């Protein structure tokens, strides 16, 4: 799959997932707003009902008070008691007369005119009594209204709206409207602040407070406000969108899986490119020694070559060198493959690091001098004994020196240095430095990856599989040590190995 195709799929899937996530969040936000609006409407409706009931209580209080005064004044408790029910308790004879039809009256008209006159007088008398009762009731109500307007605001708010009554009305109205949540409230005066409040009333912000004016007809400077808060409001609001939480979680999970899949796809694409480079490099690396061996074999078929001991020796040397070179490359691939499968065995033994490094330096010095360079050794470690596999340890040093020559600069002769010290009583530190082309910072993070090769620009003489430093890192890790690299572009590189001593 092409990289452009992967990017297109990535963009399309990202847009789809982000769109789905945005729609879910938008829907959740709308649900929360709608639930919050419904909550506010229920609370305000309940508060209005509480305020109305308190006003009705106020009216009833003054009405009862006036009725008691009227009873005391007139001494006619029956009149005061039944004053509100005069429509229901009017005299039966009047009721009977008004309900009768004219025909019935005509049929029942007494023969005696005096009796008829007495009935008319009685009817008029009853009408006067009802009129008097109506006027009395009207004046009584007017007096109550005037008393409420003039005197009600002077009563203490604790009497007009005591906390038990307010709490009971609130609970009743909220339950009636389907809002069975615990609440806290306070009655606040416009001038003096909080008059009284419940123990848990402590709003976090003004947005959490719902307010309703008590007795709106009071003068503004004497008005009181009922403030109510709900500690569990958030739980109530978000309870309606809890079912969306699993959906949102699955969307995030899907997004994570998608990102991981895309990451794996790009890694596989990169590995595919690296393996293609590996195959190309391996073909080139194997092709050169095979070609040299093939030419040497053809030369052996020449009689003149076979008759010349010097030429025959040269051809044999070429075949031997190229065979070693071919075998070394094959072994590098096989060794890394074996260690990846954890099937290789190692012979860990007591080894003098200074002596092993000195042996490698003596062998490699000729190769450095071939390019006009120098290889210096400062083996100053006083305790150089380590627990390693001798063959792999020497291969590690050889690989680091070989890389220093491969990535040398053309404008200056190569200068290599190998040193050993004891940074503490339990470890030995081995450093291999050069003055080569160096590496970029992004290359330093990946140089120990298998098949990874540092870009060398226009240079085409640097060959390899990208396995050398991966092999070095693997071996040092198996020896129980660590390796790190320091480098600066166009100034050189330095590899620092730290190994535990044998007695540790």
Supply the DSSP string of 400-454, one letter for each residue. HHHHHHHT--SSS--EEEEEEEEEETTEEEEEEE--S----HHHHTTTTSTT---
Distance separating alpha carbons of residues 323 and 433, to the nearest angstrom: 30
Separation of CA 373 from chain center: 57
The reply to whether 244-338 and 345-500 are identical in fold is no
CB 196 within 8 A of CB 186: yes
For the four alpha carbons of 82, 83, 89 and 90, in that order, the dihedral sign comes to positive
Residue for token digits 């004891």? 422
Predicted structure pTM score: 0.44
Q: Among 2.60.40.10, 1.10.287.130, 3.30.750.24, 1.10.600.10, name the CATH number for the domain at 244-338.
A: 1.10.287.130
User: What are the sequence ranges of the domains in the chain?
Assistant: 1-242, 244-338, 345-500
CB-side neighbour CA atoms (13 Å) of 459? 12
- Sequential pLDDT tens for the chain (504 residues): 677 777 888 888 888 888 888 888 888 888 888 888 888 999 999 999 998 898 888 878 777 776 776 667 665 444 444 444 434 433 443 344 344 444 444 444 444 556 666 667 777 777 777 777 766 666 666 665 656 555 666 778 888 888 899 999 999 999 998 888 899 999 998 878 888 899 888 887 788 899 999 888 878 888 889 999 998 888 888 877 777 778 878 888 888 888 888 888 888 887 777 777 767 767 766 777 788 788 888 888 888 777 788 888 888 888 887 787 777 777 666 655 655 555 456 788 999 999 999 988 887 887 888 888 899 999 999 999 999 988 889 888 988 998 888 888 888 899 999 999 999 999 999 999 999 888 888 778 788 877 666 655 444 444 555 667 888 888 899 899 999 999 988 889 999 999 999 886
CA distances to 27, 48, 435 from 173, in Å: 31, 10, 87
Strand partners, 424: 427
CB 164 within 8 A of CB 179: no
Helix ranges, 84-181 (H): 92-99, 102-108, 113-151, 157-160, 163-176
Write the DSSP symbol of residue 186: E
CB 380 within 8 A of CB 430: no
Q: What is the CATH number of domain 345-500?
A: 3.30.565.10
CB 54 within 8 A of CB 160: yes
SS3 category, 214 = strand
Distance separating alpha carbons of residues 214 and 53, to the nearest angstrom: 10
Strands 374-379 and 415-424: parallel
- Taking the CB of residue 86, how many other CB atoms lie within 10 A of it? 15
Strand partners, 78: none
């Amino acid at each position: 799959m092409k990289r452009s195709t992967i990017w297109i799929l990535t963009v399309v899937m990202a847009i789809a997932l982000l769109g789905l996530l945005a729609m879910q969040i938008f829907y959740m936000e709308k649900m929360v707003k709608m639930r919050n609006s419904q909550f506010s409407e229920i609370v305000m409706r309940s508060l209005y009902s509480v305020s109305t009931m308190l006003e009705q209580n106020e009216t009833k209080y003054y009405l009862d008070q006036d009725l008691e005064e009227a009873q005391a004044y007139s001494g006619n408790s029956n009149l005061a008691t039944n004053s509100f029910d005069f429509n229901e308790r009017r005299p039966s004879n009047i009721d009977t007369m008004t309900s009768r039809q004219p025909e019935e009256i005509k049929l029942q008209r007494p023969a005696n005119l005096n009796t008829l006159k007495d009935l008319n007088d009685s009817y008029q008398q009853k009408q006067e009594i009802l009129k008097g009762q109506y006027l009395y009731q009207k004046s009584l109500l007017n007096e109550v209204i005037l008393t409420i307007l003039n005197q009600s605001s002077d009563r203490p708010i604790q009497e007009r709206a005591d906390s038990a009554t307010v709490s009971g009305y609130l609970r009743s109205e909220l339950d009636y409207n389907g809002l069975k949540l615990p609440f806290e409230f306070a009655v606040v005066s416009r001038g003096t602040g909080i008059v009284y409040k419940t123990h848990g009333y402590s709003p976090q912000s003004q947005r959490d407070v719902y307010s309703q004016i008590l007795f709106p007809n009071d003068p503004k400077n004497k008005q009181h406000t009922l403030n109510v808060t709900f500690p569990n409001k958030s739980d109530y609001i978000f309870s309606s969108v809890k079912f969306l939480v699993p959906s949102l979680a699955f969307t995030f999970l899907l997004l994570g899986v998608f990102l991981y899949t895309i990451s794996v796809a790009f890694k596989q694409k990169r590995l595919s490119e690296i393996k293609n480079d590996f195959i190309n490099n391996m073909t080139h690396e194997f092709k050169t020694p095979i070609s040299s061996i093939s030419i040497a074999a053809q030369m052996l078929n020449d009689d003149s070559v076979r008759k010349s001991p010097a030429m025959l020796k040269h051809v044999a040397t070429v075949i031997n060198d190229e065979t070693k070179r071919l075998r070394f490359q094959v072994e590098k691939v096989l060794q890394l493959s074996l260690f990846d499968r954890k099937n290789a065995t190692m012979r860990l033994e007591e080894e003098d690091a200074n002596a092993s490094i000195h042996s490698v330096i003596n062998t490699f010095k000729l190769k450095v001098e071939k390019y006009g360079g120098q290889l210096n050794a400062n083996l100053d470690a006083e305790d150089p004994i380590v627990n390693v596999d001798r063959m792999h340890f020497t291969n590690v040093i050889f690989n680091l020196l070989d890389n220093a020559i491969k990535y040398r600069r053309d404008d200056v002769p190569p200068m290599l240095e190998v040193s050993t010290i004891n940074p503490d009583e339990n470890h030995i530190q081995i450093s291999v430095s050069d003055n080569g082309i160096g590496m970029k910072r992004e290359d330093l993070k990946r140089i120990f990856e298998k098949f990874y090769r540092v870009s060398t620009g226009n240079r085409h003489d640097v060959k390899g599989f990208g396995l050398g430093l991966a092999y070095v890192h693997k071996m040092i890790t198996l020896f129980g040590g660590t390796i790190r690299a320091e480098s600066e572009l166009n100034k050189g590189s330095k590899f620092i190995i730290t190994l535990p001593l044998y007695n540790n």
